[in-house]
């Protein structure tokens, strides 16, 4: 997601949020409450309402091309989008990476004095002390469950029926209707579970040229989400949650915190 504007004096970060995308990292959805199941919402044909929210599969890094003067743009969209192009850390996968999205916002808030060195050092220590069993991809409360298969006859055909249960965790940021949503799924190319983190908030949290509720979205319309001193704690807490997803996430977030502290 692109940063629209940085204001050091007011300590604000404006992030552009597309309102019409139906795939990708951000989507407009609809549900009755934060614990409900979100369904896709066609914002170009349906009128925005109070049940709409943004689902953002937020990230924290961007891979740096081997040759920054010659690379395929479609392979490095995050690198193109970040305001911080310099090398920052080596990822758990061995790739050279820089800061993007959450880590990018954390960098600026730390630079502007919203967060202190002690806060980042304390978070780094917290993550370092997390045992493998307490990481969410290994935690007992976050395992995918399968029932025993039983024969069920449907339309005169005998099926083996079983139930597969995928855990979901929701973290609410104080009194805000803003949440972190973690969905536990199966790895597509390996054995084990894979936690996916989403940042979700009502569309009423967005800034736009006009009121969103009661109208449809314009073609390729975007609105703005504002991070500021009042809600900056969300960034730090999201980094903390990212760090407990898995061993690779833990390694990455610790490296990110070290890079920002030493910047």
Instruction: Write a three-state SS string for 129-164.
Output: CCCHHHCCCCCHHHCCEECCCEEEEECCEEEEECCE
Check residue 206 and give its pLDDT: 97
Q: Tell me which residue of 262, 246, 237, 250 sits closest to 105, measured CA to CA.
A: 237
Q: Is residue 232 part of a domain?
A: yes
What is the Cβ-side half-sphere exposure of residue 8, based on CA atoms within 13 angstroms? Answer: 6
Check residue 177 and give its pLDDT: 84
Q: Tell me which residue of 173, 178, 11, 197 sits closest to 105, measured CA to CA.
A: 11
Check residue 151 and give its pLDDT: 97
Q: Is residue 154 part of a domain?
A: no
Q: Give the other-Cβ count within 10 Å of 263's Cβ.
A: 12
CA dist 172 and 176 (Å) reads: 7
Q: What angle do CA 93, 26, 44 make, to 5 degrees?
A: 155
Domain of residue 90: give its range.
3-139+166-261
- What end-to-end distance do the CA atoms of the chain give, in Å? 23
Q: Tell me which residue of 162, 168, 180 sits closest to 141, measured CA to CA.
A: 168
- pTM of full prediction above 0.85: yes
Q: Tell me which residue of 170, 143, 145, 144 sits closest to 31, measured CA to CA.
A: 170
Residues 6+ apart with CB under 8 A from 58: 1, 25, 101, 102, 197, 198, 199, 238
CA dist 8 and 82 (Å) reads: 17
Q: What is the mean pLDDT of each run of 10 residues along the chain (263 residues)?
A: 95 97 90 92 96 96 92 93 91 95 98 98 98 92 92 97 94 87 84 88 94 95 96 97 96 97 91
Contact 102, 260 (CB under 8 A): no
Check residue 190 and give its pLDDT: 66
Q: How many domains does the chain have?
A: 1
Task: Name residue 15's beta-bridge partners.
Answer: 3, 225
Residues 6+ apart with CB under 8 A from 121: 257, 261
For 217, the token pair is: 């979205």
Q: Is residue 155 part of a domain?
A: no
Q: Is residue 160 part of a domain?
A: no
Contact 183, 198 (CB under 8 A): yes
């Amino acid at each position: 997601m692109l940063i629209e504007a940085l204001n050091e004096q007011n300590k604000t970060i404006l992030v552009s949020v597309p309102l019409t995308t139906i795939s990708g990292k951000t989507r407009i959805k609809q549900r009755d409450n934060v614990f409900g199941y979100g369904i896709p919402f066609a914002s170009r044909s349906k009128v925005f309402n109070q049940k709409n929210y943004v689902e953002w599969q937020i990230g924290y890094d961007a891979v740096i091309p081997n040759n920054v003067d010659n690379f395929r743009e479609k392979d490095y969209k995050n690198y193109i989008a970040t305001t911080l192009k310099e090398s920052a850390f080596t990822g758990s996968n061995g790739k050279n990476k820089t800061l993007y999205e959450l880590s990018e916002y954390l960098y600026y808030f730390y630079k502007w004095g919203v967060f202190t060195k002690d806060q980042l050092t304390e978070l780094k220590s917290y993550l370092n002390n997390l045992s493998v069993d307490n990481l969410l991809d290994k935690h007992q409360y976050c395992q995918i469950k399968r029932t025993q298969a039983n024969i069920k006859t449907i339309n005169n055909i005998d099926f083996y029926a079983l139930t597969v249960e995928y855990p979901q965790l929701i973290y609410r940021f104080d009194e805000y209707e803003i949440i972190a949503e973690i969905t536990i799924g199966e790895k597509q190319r390996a054995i084990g579970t894979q936690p996916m983190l989403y940042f979700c908030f009502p569309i009423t949290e967005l800034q736009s040229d006009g009121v969103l509720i009661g109208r449809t979205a314009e073609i390729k319309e975007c609105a703005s989400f504002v991070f500021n001193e009042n809600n900056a704690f969300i960034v730090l807490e999201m980094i903390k949650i990212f760090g407990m997803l898995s061993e690779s996430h833990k390694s990455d977030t610790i490296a990110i915190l070290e890079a920002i502290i030493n910047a």
